[in-house]
Amino acid sequence: MINKKSLLISMMIGLCLTLLAKKPDWIMEKPLNPEYVISIEMSHKSEENYRELAHQAAAINIADFFEITDSLSIQKLSPKIEIVKEWESKKEYWIYCRLSKLEFYRNMLIEQSDDYYIGFGECSKTTPDYLEIAKQKALSEISSQINVAVSGEVVNRVIEQSGIVKEDFFSQIQMKTQSQLEGIEVVKILETDDRYWIFYKLSKQLYEAQQQKIISDAIEHSLDFYNEAKSDENKNKIASAISNYIKSLQELEHVLNKPLIIEISNEDIYLDNKIYTSLQNLLNNIKFETNQEKLVLKSGKPGKVILLSTFNNKPIENLKINFITEKGSSEVSDYSISDANGEVILLFPDPKSDVQLHFIKGFINVNDYCEIDSLSIIVPIINSLINPEIRFEVLVEGLSFYMESVEKVENVESKGKIIEPIIKDYFISKGHKFVVDKNSAELLVRIVANSAKGSGAMGFVTSTTNATLSIVEVESSNEILKKTVNRIKGVSNNIEGATNKSFEKAARKLIEELEY
């Protein structure tokens, strides 16, 4: 008779063995993960080295996904495979292995880096334009591996002297380099529901061949402009020479990270250095001078100053000269173009004598002779050039005035003058002068004013003034300006004080009219 207790124990052991023998879900249903190649393999425990056999089977299966068939490559791949889980029963051994697709292709390209520039780019699919962003990241990684250095000593000196951050300068060259990349191969594109990866490679041999062609073409085009500039310089076509020298530099913009060595007169030179020094030498030989011993203008009367521009003592035609007023209130024309005689006319449309001595600067701006993107790496090179300039003084003389004034109170001429000295002070502050002889004056200032008593209340009285100011040319007797103010009120506790205040306010109002 079977012992019930023994039977119960036996049943429990059997149940446990059954549960233990039940295969886990990852064996029954292969996991899905687009980022990995997954292999689940089984070997019989009766076989010798059953663990190694299962692992080898997983390696072969994963290698097959990547189209790897030779045993040596499979053997090299095997250590990189991750064992995620293991399970075994009494008779079976199961292994769950995987290999990251991302890591596989990354490592594969790294192994080719002796012969290829390689780039990886990735981006979240939630980002707008994620395809383009991932591509640009991969391209940037390739361009960053390409050596960026500046060979010409002039360019190196410009970087040091202009305060440009060298990394920023190189970054711009790298951007140019990236835009020139051709022959890039797409190795692999990977994506999941939420991420995107792209893998690029570029043959170093192909790239170097392309670069030699690009450099050769750039040097050829640059030399064409350089030779044109030299020809223009010899013909005294200075504006055209400046333009062609700059164009010659622009042709080299995208290859400044390469040694641009050419042979001239049996001598090896850096082409970019040669262009820069030739342009600077040309600028050094441009001279400006005034053809007037004393530069004097009259306040308020349009005038001009004539300069002479020369190159190696020969007049320069069609040269643009810019002007600014460094000290003084008179406006000048922004620029002028030299004529066939090398003369440059600077216009003063309205000279002002409040500051009698004006300091003017004339200069060439090389940027006027070219069209360059403000972000171009050529800009700091051009800006480092020393441009020819001239500084000169212009004396703006005030006009000579004679004053006639009649100030009346109740139509009776007043003995004292209130409006006259205020108006005189105003014109003197503008750099003009008053003379005692009418015949020696250029302009006559005539003031006619009359005040009248107004109403009064609470111990105060008022006075109102009408006043007219006229300016007349003495020589021609032509009236050139007339200003009138009416009913200007003054208030005081006596009529004399009210009259004085109304005269004073009338004078200030006339000055406001003159300023307007």
Residues 304 and 357 in one domain: yes
Does 472 fall in a domain?
A: yes
Residues 493 and 479 in one domain: yes
pLDDT in the model for residue 168: 60
Residues 275 and 187 in one domain: no
* Domain extent for 117: 108-205
**Total domains in the fold of the chain:** 5
Cα angle, residue 301 at apex, residues 300 and 305 outer, rounded to 5°: 120
d(CA 274, CA 268) in angstroms, rounded, equals: 11
Q: What is the dihedral of CA 365, 366, 367, 371, to 10 degrees?
A: 150
Does 375 fall in a domain?
A: yes
Does 187 fall in a domain?
A: yes
- Write out the chain's pLDDT in tens, 516 residues: 445 555 455 555 444 444 445 677 777 667 777 888 999 999 998 998 999 999 999 999 988 988 888 888 888 888 889 999 999 888 999 999 999 888 888 888 788 778 999 889 999 999 999 999 999 999 888 888 876 555 555 556 555 555 554 556 556 665 666 566 788 999 889 888 888 989 899 999 998 888 888 889 999 999 999 999 999 999 999 999 999 999 999 998 878 777 788 777 777 888 888 999 999 999 999 999 987 666 888 887 888 888 999 999 999 999 999 999 888 877 888 999 999 999 999 888 888 777 678 889 999 999 898 888 877 778 888 888 999 999 988 888 889 999 999 999 999 998 889 999 999 999 998 889 999 999 999 999 999 999 999 887 778 999 999 999 999 999 999 999 999 999 999 999 999 999 999 999 999 999 999 876
And the tokens for 330? 């008179």
pLDDT in the model for residue 103: 85
Domain boundary among 205, 232, 254: 205
Cα angle, residue 327 at apex, residues 324 and 329 outer, rounded to 5°: 85
d(CA 268, CA 266) in angstroms, rounded, equals: 7
| pLDDT digit string, tens, across residues 445-472 | 999 999 999 887 778 999 999 999 999 9
pLDDT in the model for residue 383: 87
Domain boundary among 172, 205, 238: 205
And the tokens for 126? 């939630």
Task: Please check whether residue 201 is in contact with residue 187, taking contact to mean a CB–CB distance below 8 angstroms.
Answer: yes
Task: Please check whether residue 154 is in contact with residue 276, taking contact to mean a CB–CB distance below 8 angstroms.
Answer: yes
Task: Please check whether residue 120 is in contact with residue 106, taking contact to mean a CB–CB distance below 8 angstroms.
Answer: yes
Cα angle, residue 158 at apex, residues 157 and 159 outer, rounded to 5°: 90
- Three-class DSSP category at 169: helix
Task: Please check whether residue 18 is in contact with residue 78, taking contact to mean a CB–CB distance below 8 angstroms.
Answer: no
Q: Give the DSSP letter of residue 468.
A: E
Task: Please check whether residue 444 is in contact with residue 438, taking contact to mean a CB–CB distance below 8 angstroms.
Answer: yes
- Three-class DSSP category at 181: coil
Residues 468 and 382 in one domain: no
Residues 127 and 196 in one domain: yes
Q: Backbone dihedral region of 350: left (phi > 0), alpha (psi from -120 to 50 degrees) or beta?
A: beta
d(CA 81, CA 360) in angstroms, rounded, equals: 78
d(CA 240, CA 22) in angstroms, rounded, equals: 90
Domain boundary among 205, 227, 248: 205
Measured in whole angstroms, the distance separating CA 411 from the mean position of its chain's CA atoms is 69
pLDDT in the model for residue 273: 87
Residues 293 and 392 in one domain: yes
Q: Rounded mean pLDDT of the chain?
A: 85
Does 142 fall in a domain?
A: yes
Does 249 fall in a domain?
A: yes
And the tokens for 244? 């062609």
pLDDT in the model for residue 477: 93
Does 75 fall in a domain?
A: yes
Residues 315 and 368 in one domain: yes
Task: Please check whether residue 125 is in contact with residue 193, taking contact to mean a CB–CB distance below 8 angstroms.
Answer: yes
pLDDT in the model for residue 66: 87
Residues 266 and 340 in one domain: no
- Three-class DSSP category at 416: coil
b/e for 137-146, b at 16 or more Cβ within 10 A? bbbebbbeeb
Residues 408 and 488 in one domain: yes
d(CA 37, CA 59) in angstroms, rounded, equals: 10
Residues 6+ apart with CB under 8 A from 114: none
Residues 497 and 435 in one domain: yes
- Give the CATH number of the domain where residue 493 resides: 3.30.160.150
| Other CB atoms within 10 A of residue 276 CB | 24
Task: Please check whether residue 508 is in contact with residue 493, taking contact to mean a CB–CB distance below 8 angstroms.
Answer: no
Does 16 fall in a domain?
A: no
Does 253 fall in a domain?
A: yes
DSSP 347-394: EESS---SSSEEEEEEE--GGGG----TT-THHHHHHTS---EEEEEE
Residues 407 and 386 in one domain: no
pLDDT in the model for residue 198: 92
Residues 404 and 469 in one domain: yes
- Give the CATH number of the domain where residue 346 resides: 2.60.40.10
b/e for 320-345, b at 16 or more Cβ within 10 A? ebbbebeebebebeebbebeeebebe
